[in-house]
Amino acid sequence: MVDRIDEAWIARGVRRAPFGRFLLWAAPWAALLALGAYAIFLCLRDGLFHTNMDNRYVFGLWIFLDLAVIALGAGAFFTGFLLYVLRKTELRAVINSAVVIGLVCYSGAVLILAVDVGQPLRAWFTFYHPNVHSMLTEVTFCITCYLTVLLIEYVPVLLKNRRLKMKPSMLVFEYNLHKVMVVFALIGTLLSFFHQGSLGGLFGVLRGRPFAFREGLLIWPSTFFLFVLSAMAVGPSFVAVTTWMAEKITRRRLVKDEVYQTLGRISGKLLLAYVFFKSLDTLLWINQTAPERGFPAHRFYEYGGAFGTWILFTEIALLGLVPALLLLKPEWRARRGLLIAGAALACLGVTLNRFVFTIQTLALPTLPFDRLLLYWPSWQEFAAFGFVLAYGMLVYSFSYRYLKLFPQERELAMNEAKR
Amino acid sequence: MFPWVYGFEWHPGYLVFLGVFFTVAVVVAGTVLAALWRSFTAVRKKHDGRIYWHTAFEELTPEERRCRHALTGELPGRCCDQEFDCRGCRMHARLLYSEEAGAQAAVAEPAEVCGISMPLDRYYHRGHTWVREGEDGMLLVGLDDLGRRLLGSDGAVELPPPGTELRVNEPAFRLRRNGVEARILSPVDGTVEGPAAGGEALVRVRPAAGFRTVHLLRGGEAAAWMWLELDRLQMALAASCGASTLADGGVVAGDLGRCLPKRDFDTACGLAFLDV
């Protein structure tokens, strides 16, 4: 009976795992979701003392991962921009997947922010009492708007479901929404540009934290532009990595090779530009910005261990330049293993960059009597992040099972059957 | 200007920031409302059939969208960009009266493709329906042999009531069998007069003024198309159930609904009736 209902919701002409096996796959994620929900409940009920954050370490695991998933989720807006505005039509094969990834990343980030800030019932205060001089206000407004846009972009993907599109009103609404998707792609690009930038700007304007402080253009520090560029660079890479993972887990080909090539090429070019500007920015910071604020740059790395110079080298060279080259050279990019390795390294690179700006910035002393402060998240912090991870996996798994995330799947399956 | 924002001041910071934010909010809301309104009017004007076929056609693979002239070898590899409505296709108009097309259409022998009979006294639609002109000027519309084998003896076709306007490539009938439902496209423009009495036809249709049959397959090209269809069906079933179902040189089973598991039968119906 359940199998019959399940089958009725699965698209025609594609293969999906039996329902029982799908439940087995979903069960551990559901368990993680339950654990995370309990941790979130504790934090909302009792407050942030359940976490290991304090007055010094106000940004912990949650903000670091928020920044990371928002950067990785940039694939949604950037793929939409490439497809609907720049007419890279081959990316139609991954746009639905990119939208789901973006939705999961942004909604997960907003959820964690709600737990971190606390009192979610008063979330509307930020709109009623906006501090227009704060980067955080810009971030809040843009993320809220963009999450709304992502939800709207998800609606046509949802309405493509086999059962839903049987209803004429759903079918027609999906069609009409799809026709105006270019508007949402442009708005998404505008909002993403500003909130990715503002997230970077948040750190760049911290005058009391010379490790993060940067000079810039008008009111925007250089980190504003570097965050935007790095998010644009890794967005396509993350879409490629997730698509590849979906292919490996489902053991099916989901997109054509040319799609990977396009994603890799675009990501490689942008990543190289990012590495160039990041290097330039770092040199300026080492030679000018930091010394002017009384901190020779080498002092930030004197503590060794987790925060030594290796982290700078790893971020720019190993997880920046190397993947850029892997993705740029056509012969290397043509090999799927190298392309995915390059894309995965790029994603790790931007994650490390966000780690440096949140965790390392707060760990380093800024006053003579200060000392290096180390921080390790509590289980509630890990579990709350586990909630977002599990939620993401479940939303993506259900979307893959019941929606047409990869329009080329049926064609590729038929081509393989021919061989 | 922004009375709902507490502490609003006439300051460039407030004006720019809140101005941009509210513009974005208004554009998003306006676009969604416009899409809702257009959907409402489209459903009210019964444009949903056209939209259905437009979206379904986009989901067909390039192989499935192959032009009829590619099937006959006149334009190898060409894909249809007219949503299988050749009436607006310049290329088709140019080729329609060419020698090769004439030769293809002039095949007089009734064709049989893997046991599927294809009488040549009728026109075929790519959604596995056919059209034949009756003696009274009415059009008879029915399912072709493959369609009938999918319908089987215990399947049912939901017919449109008399007076229903049919339009080419818009859903006209619904097939129901074994819990599977598929929409069947109309091959003609016209008004349903009623069910056909006896025979293989499903309904009698009064053709719309100026109705032409140029979009329908005829003669040899219909046989070439059926070969492609069976090939496509075989590949799709192999892809969806992991095993090949039709052996080379065999004939298609008389009642596919009895031979195929439900999931494969569902796939076959979707592919045959272009309801993917």
What does A267-301 look like in DSSP terms, one character per residue?
HHHHHHHHHHHHHHHHHHIIIIIHHHTT--GGGGG
Residue A157's nearest CA partner among A369, A407, A417, A403 is A403
CB neighbours of B84 closer than 8 A, spacing ≥ 6? B57, B126, B169, B215
- Rounded to two decimals, the pTM is 0.90
DSSP tag of B138: P
**B248 pLDDT band (50/70/90 cuts)?**
low
Give residue B70's identity as a one-letter amino acid code. A
**pLDDT of res. B261:** 83
Residue B185's nearest CA partner among B63, B263, B83 is B83
Nearest CB among A7, A127, A176 relative to B35 is that of A176
**pLDDT of res. B179:** 84
Q: What angle do CA B75, B76, B82 make, to 5 degrees?
A: 60
Answer whether residue B238 shows pLDDT above 90.
Answer: no
Range with the largest mean pLDDT of A14-23, A269-278, B68-77, B101-110: A269-278
Give residue A360's identity as a one-letter amino acid code. Q
User: In angstroms, what separates the C-alpha of A179 from chain B's closest C-alpha?
Assistant: 8
Find out whether A156 and B11 touch, Cβ atoms under 8 Å. no
Find out whether B52 and A171 touch, Cβ atoms under 8 Å. yes
Residue of chain B nearest A140, judged by CA positions? B21
Rounded distance, CA A165 to CA A179, Å?
Answer: 16
H or E element in which residue B49 lies? helix B48-58
- Spell out which residues of chain A touch residue B267, defining contact as CB-CB under 8 Å: 12-13
Rounded distance, CA A102 to CA A71, Å?
Answer: 10
Mutate to test the interface with B, among A1, A9, A12 (most CBs of B within 10 A): A12
CB neighbours of A151 closer than 8 A, spacing ≥ 6? A103
Rounded distance, CA A3 to CA A19, Å?
Answer: 6
Rounded distance, CA A285 to CA A299, Å?
Answer: 13
Residue with tokens 């059926």: B226
Rounded distance, CA B206 to CA B204, Å?
Answer: 7
Q: CB atoms < 10 A from the CB of A332, how many?
A: 17
H or E element in which residue A104 lies? helix A92-117
H or E element in which residue B35 lies? helix B12-44
- Tell which phi-psi region holds residue A54, choosing left (phi > 0), alpha (psi between -120 and 50) or beta: beta
**Percentage of chain B exceeding pLDDT 70:** 90
Rounded distance, CA B202 to CA B122, Å?
Answer: 14
Contact B238 A128 (CB under 8 A): no
**pLDDT of res. A366:** 83
Q: What is the pLDDT along chain A (419 residues), one digit of tens a residue?
A: 778 788 889 998 888 999 999 999 999 999 999 999 999 999 999 999 899 998 878 888 999 999 999 999 888 889 999 999 999 999 999 999 999 999 999 999 999 989 998 888 888 888 888 887 787 888 888 888 889 999 999 999 999 999 998 899 999 999 999 999 999 999 988 888 888 898 899 899 988 888 999 988 888 899 999 999 999 999 999 999 999 999 999 999 999 999 999 999 999 999 999 999 999 999 999 999 999 888 888 888 887 777 888 999 999 999 999 999 999 999 999 999 999 999 999 999 999 999 999 999 988 888 878 888 888 999 999 999 999 999 999 999 999 999 999 999 988 988 887 77
- Spell out which residues of chain B touch residue A168, defining contact as CB-CB under 8 Å: 43, 48, 52
Rounded distance, CA B140 to CA B137, Å?
Answer: 10
User: In angstroms, what separates the C-alpha of B134 from chain A's closest C-alpha?
Assistant: 33
Question: How many residues in total does chain A contain?
Answer: 419
